[in-house]
């Protein structure tokens, strides 16, 4: 569950909102992340940050007002001010042209199954060592240069409303590595992308093998210039994942679906949306 200090302050703010007769939602997001960036086959940047954000929303009929706090939560007075500002924005807002749905947590949620402490705390040294093994293996084979980035981190999401006493909390980790191999003479580039939910889900050897599988295609075939017009494009796993991600935000966001604003609003549970050719990984 969320850190006790912050959780207790948010519970106190919810109780205060009820006493004021407000329909209020509190959505807290905290992220701890670490990033290394490569340039000219070497580490060009190593940084880490921790960000906190609280969104407070007040609803009255078709009027909705919100206030965002992008700072650490330190006191109840801070939350009371945010709630009062959201309530003021609600009173002064225009009515929406649809019936907005007031959020409610139907059952308590405390989910950390997607959290891996090893991935949250993976060091920049470990990241740079893996990248160095890839570069050391491939760079001598041509006029190659490497760039890219590797970001990892943990995200916490905590949500509660005045509708009931339930709370929803989730904590998860993820990471994304992108390595770009560039031929400095022929001016083409080749990228390998890896994503992860836990530490150790890919190795330097796997990345090297992916580069080795595609390098002959680039080395043995001449390049060509595309012309303006229709093109046949082959999407790889990353491109398909990006399209699916856009569909998730545009079609599977619960509130937009229920309010009839999603492109899937005409569908019902169980309807097939994606092609048979889009196959999610096992366990998703």
Residue 104: domain span = 4-221
CATH of the domain at 169: 3.30.2290.10
Q: Are 18 and 162 in contact (CB under 8 A)?
A: yes
Question: Which pLDDT belongs to residue 254?
Answer: 65
- Residue 14 to residue 8: CA distance in whole angstroms: 10
Q: β-strand 144-161 against 109-111: which pairing, if any?
A: unpaired
Both tokens assigned to 194: 């890896």
Question: Which pLDDT belongs to residue 268?
Answer: 80
CB proximity list for 52: less than 8 A, separation 6 or greater: 28, 29, 30, 31, 70, 71, 72, 73
Do 207 and 244 belong to one domain? no
- Residue 235 to residue 242: CA distance in whole angstroms: 10
Do 105 and 155 belong to one domain? yes
Note the pTM of the prediction, 2 decimals.
0.80
Do 213 and 238 belong to one domain? no
| Planar angle of CA 135, 139, 141, nearest 5 degrees | 140
Do 193 and 261 belong to one domain? no
Question: Which pLDDT belongs to residue 277?
Answer: 73
Number of domains in the chain: 2
Do 139 and 243 belong to one domain? no
Q: Which of 178, 199, 221 is the last residue of a domain?
A: 221
Question: Which pLDDT belongs to residue 101?
Answer: 87
Question: Which pLDDT belongs to residue 284?
Answer: 52
Do 255 and 122 belong to one domain? no
Looking up tokens 């210039």, which residue turns up? Answer: 225
Do 260 and 216 belong to one domain? no
CB proximity list for 186: less than 8 A, separation 6 or greater: 143, 223
Strand, coil or helix: what is 59?
Answer: strand
Q: β-strand 109-111 against 168-183: which pairing, if any?
A: parallel
227 assigned to some structural domain: no
226 assigned to some structural domain: no
244 assigned to some structural domain: yes
3-state secondary structure 100-139: CCCCCCCCCEEECCCCCHHHHCCCHHHHHHHHHHHHHHHH
Note down pLDDT in tens along the chain; length 284 residues.
899 999 999 999 999 999 999 999 999 999 999 999 999 999 999 999 999 999 999 999 999 999 999 999 999 999 999 999 999 999 999 999 888 889 999 999 999 999 999 999 999 999 999 999 999 999 999 999 999 999 999 999 999 999 999 999 999 999 999 999 999 998 899 999 999 999 999 999 999 999 999 999 888 888 778 889 998 888 887 888 888 888 777 777 666 777 777 778 788 878 887 777 777 666 55
- Burial class of residue 227 in the structure, from the number of CB atoms within 10 Å of its CB (0-12 exposed, 13-18 middle, 19+ buried): exposed
- Residue 237 to residue 167: CA distance in whole angstroms: 36
Do 148 and 114 belong to one domain? yes
Other C-beta atoms closer than 10 Å to the C-beta of 87 total: 21
Query: Biggest alpha carbon distance in the chain?
Result: 73
Question: Which pLDDT belongs to residue 282?
Answer: 61
- Residue 171 to residue 1: CA distance in whole angstroms: 8
42 assigned to some structural domain: yes
């Amino acid at each position: 569950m969320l850190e006790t200090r912050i959780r207790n302050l948010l519970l106190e703010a919810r109780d205060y909102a009820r006493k004021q007769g407000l329909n209020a939602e509190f959505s807290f997001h905290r992220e701890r992340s670490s990033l290394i960036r490569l340039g000219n086959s070497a580490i060009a940047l190593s940084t880490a940050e921790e960000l906190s954000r609280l969104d407070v929303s007040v609803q009255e009929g078709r009027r909705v007002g919100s206030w965002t706090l992008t700072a650490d939560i330190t006191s109840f007075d801070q939350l009371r001010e945010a709630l009062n500002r959201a309530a003021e924005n609600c009173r002064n807002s225009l009515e929406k042209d649809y019936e907005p749905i007031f959020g409610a947590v139907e059952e308590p949620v405390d989910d950390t199954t997607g959290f891996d402490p090893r991935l949250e705390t993976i060091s920049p040294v470990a990241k740079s060592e893996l990248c160095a093994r890839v570069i050391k293996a491939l760079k001598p084979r041509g006029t190659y240069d490497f760039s890219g980035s590797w970001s990892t981190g943990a995200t916490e999401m905590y949500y509660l409303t005045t509708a009931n006493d339930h709370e929803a909390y989730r904590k998860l980790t993820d990471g994304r590595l992108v390595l770009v191999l560039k031929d400095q003479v022929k001016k083409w580039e080749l990228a390998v992308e890896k994503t992860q939910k836990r530490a150790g889900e890919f190795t330097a050897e796997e990345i090297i093998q992916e580069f080795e599988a595609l390098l002959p295609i680039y080395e043995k075939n001449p390049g060509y210039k595309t012309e303006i017009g229709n093109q046949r494009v082959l999407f790889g796993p990353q491109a398909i994942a990006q399209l699916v991600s856009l569909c998730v935000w545009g079609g599977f966001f619960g509130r937009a679906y229920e309010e009839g604003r999603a492109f899937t609003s005409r569908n019902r549970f169980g309807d097939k949306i994606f092609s048979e050719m889009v196959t999610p990984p096992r366990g998703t």
